[in-house]
Amino acid sequence: MPSRGAIDGFDSPRLPVRVAIIGAGCIGKEHMRNISLMPEVAQVVALVDSNQSSLASCLELLPSIKNVRTFESVGSFVRWVNAEDDMGDFDMGRRSQCDAVVIATPNYTHLNIMEEVVQKTSLHVLVEKPLCTKVEDCRRVERLVEDDRASDPRRVVWVGMEYKYMPSVARLLQEVGYWNRFNELSGGTLVEKCCHFFDLMRQILKSDPVRVMASGGQDVEYQSELYQRSGEEGEDQANIQQHVACQQNEDEDGAGKIRLMRPDIIDNAYVIVEFKNGGRACLDLCMFAETSLYQEEICVVGDRGKVEAFGSRHGEKEEQEDLSNFRIGLRPAKSEWNAAREVDAPSTKSLPPVQQEHIGVTDSRLLEAGAHEGSTFHEVREEQRGESELTAAAAQAVL
């Protein structure tokens, strides 16, 4: 994440920040809705997508947003930016049309788009997670940004990791197309879905991982799905075209031009991560537990107690105030614990009570704007202000 100093260019009186969104799909729409909730901070000035219907549906989503330019390619958008930005420098106060870009395209396209935007413009960049689908591509982006920093020291480039801004998770920290069916295109489930939790592990433990052990498999989901891809194997993976609802095996025609591909992403896994400071974290992934009361459960355990935060079902649009989504319990002193066990029928009456709360979303519009409990909105808001001031006090209290 960028440092506080790196965000200074966003401070008033140069607001609102003028934003272009590359990718008019589900996540692009969520960014557009959230940006519309804070017109004093940011406004959408351009949309980029090769699919005309996606562009049209994005514009129909918020008819009140006027004068949004649309482009069918990143190249045409870059040419527009450079034609408008005739001053040729990084001063946002002097830029004429656009200040920042959000990259919300399929994961496997991030690298090429970032290279074009960073090398050919001076725009700030927010790229959706994951940064890339391959380790070597991530390192390539790191080198790109490091080389660029010498000429554009004030440019901000960061990866969208909004889970830390979910109300219940923020409280815990305070206290302490079908491209996504294939590993080659999404990076795999542990990259696509679970990168938020690896980010939270580092946030909570204030350390970096040194060892990883994992086991996973594909046992339930997607096994009956087949997808059609045109072109020879190894060609552009964007050729995946449609979902074939059948039970056939992978197949191809006589000329080898039409191939049916079965999804290969895992749907369950256990991951143990050891950290440099001696801490350990465990991820339990299951993509077929739809009847769970909570979609995410995050807990921090130490010798003095346990703090837990819970995330509602994905896309929940109503506040469930009767459900506690934050819980903290302090472990009693050993003498108190032993005293509670010294009776014939063990009782916990003398033990400290567990504190339970419902940490709600402060504005119901945030639930309507997206599928992440308002965290996308808070992420943009906090990044505009600078690095979040969250201190992870509860984690410190129990560790």
- Structural domain boundaries in the chain: 5-160, 165-208+271-398, 225-261
- In total, the chain counts a number of residues equal to 399
Pairing of β 225-230 and β 209-217 = unpaired
At residue 94, the pLDDT reads 41
Which among 103, 101, 155 is positioned nearest to 129, based on CA atoms? 103
Report how far residue 35's alpha carbon sits from residue 68's, in angstroms, rounded to the nearest whole number. Answer: 13
User: Rounded to 5 degrees, what are φ and ψ at 163?
Assistant: -60, -30
| Mean per-residue pLDDT pooled into runs of 10, the chain (399 residues) | 37 71 90 87 92 88 82 94 59 64 92 93 91 88 89 85 74 59 63 78 90 87 67 44 41 53 81 93 84 80 86 62 82 63 53 78 64 53 42 38
Contact 276, 368 (CB under 8 A): no
At residue 187, the pLDDT reads 62
Q: Which residues pair with 101 in a beta bridge?
A: 20, 125
DSSP H or E segment with residue 231: none
Contact 376, 31 (CB under 8 A): yes
At residue 210, the pLDDT reads 95
Question: Can you read off the two tokens belonging to residue 140?
Answer: 């390539």
Whole-prediction pTM: 0.53
Which among 163, 93, 117 is positioned nearest to 312, based on CA atoms? 163
Helix then strand then coil, % of the chain, to nearest 5:
35, 25, 45
At residue 282, the pLDDT reads 92
DSSP 7: G
At residue 48, the pLDDT reads 95
At residue 376, the pLDDT reads 53
Q: Considering the domain 5-160 in this protein, what is its CATH number?
A: 3.40.50.720
